[in-house]
Amino acid sequence: MYFKDAYSELVHKVSWPTWGQLQSSAIIVMVTSAIFALVIFAMDFTFRNLMEFLYKALY
């Protein structure tokens, strides 16, 4: 009974996105992920260089 109801709901009641909507969402996710990756890389690079500079200046 549960599986029959679940199947019926998935087939008749769920509104699935179109192929175009899926592509658009995937592109948005990829661009956003790339931007976050670049921001994290820039923060890491800056912090690493700052720490190296401070360690060399202090020791």
Decide: 17 and 25 in contact? Cβ < 8 Å: yes
How many Å apart are CA 22 and CA 28, to the nearest integer? 10
Give me the pLDDT at residue 5, please.
94
In the prediction, which pLDDT does 26 show? 98
DSSP 53: H
Task: Tell me what pLDDT residue 39 has.
Answer: 98
- Mean pLDDT throughout 16-25? 96
pLDDT in tens, 26-56: 999 999 999 999 999 999 999 999 999 999 9
Q: Is the pLDDT of residue 9 over 90?
A: yes
Q: What is the pTM of this model?
A: 0.68
